[in-house]
Amino acid sequence: MAKELPDMPIKASRLPKNLDAHVADMTADEEAKLQDVSKAVGFRVSASSTLPSPEPKPSPEAAPRIDRTSRFNALIPSYVEQQIADICHAKRCTKTHLLLAALKATYGIRVDEVDLVADARRPRAR
């Protein structure tokens, strides 16, 4: 059997427009009774008057962040850009990865392994 809820000290039809001012004028007995009713209603509907703190979301596995980057623009013939795009498609890597790997292999330029990410795109949700 359902347990009866206690009577509220204030009738809903009599609530003033400025409820904050009315609550400030409540006596200690009225306030205690209102708290009891609130707890009983919350317990009855399995509600909590306090929200649990949200759990931190795990960070998605993304490519490592490069601390500092610089934009590098170069004008190259379209046929060269098309060949680069074809190589990247075949190797499934980005043009940035191809350029950094080529500079490292050809000229011995220091490129950290963390910066040599073949595919820096975010994985798709399936």
Is residue 100 within 8 A of residue 115, CB to CB? The reply is: yes
pLDDT digits (tens, 9 = 90+) for 46-74: 555 555 566 666 655 655 555 678 888 99
Could you tell me the residue ranges of all domains in the chain? 16-44, 72-126
Helices (H), the chain: 19-24, 28-44, 78-91, 95-107
Per-residue pLDDT, 84: 95
Q: How far is CA 52 from CA 37, 47, 49, in A?
A: 22, 11, 10
Q: How far is CA 9 from CA 14, 39, 68, 89, in A?
A: 11, 14, 63, 73
The dihedral built from the CA positions of residue 49, 55, 56 and 57, taken in this order, carries a sign that is negative
Q: What is the DSSP letter of 60?
A: P
Of 29-33, 91-95, 100-104, the poorest mean pLDDT is in 29-33
Hey, which of 44-58, 76-90, 106-120 has the most confident mean pLDDT?
A: 76-90
Mean pLDDT of the chain: 75
pLDDT digits (tens, 9 = 90+) for 10-38: 555 555 565 555 566 677 787 778 777 77
Per-residue pLDDT, 64: 58
Is residue 49 within 8 A of residue 42, CB to CB? The reply is: yes
Q: Which token pair is 34? A: 């209102």
Whether the per-residue pLDDT at 2 is higher than 70: the answer is no
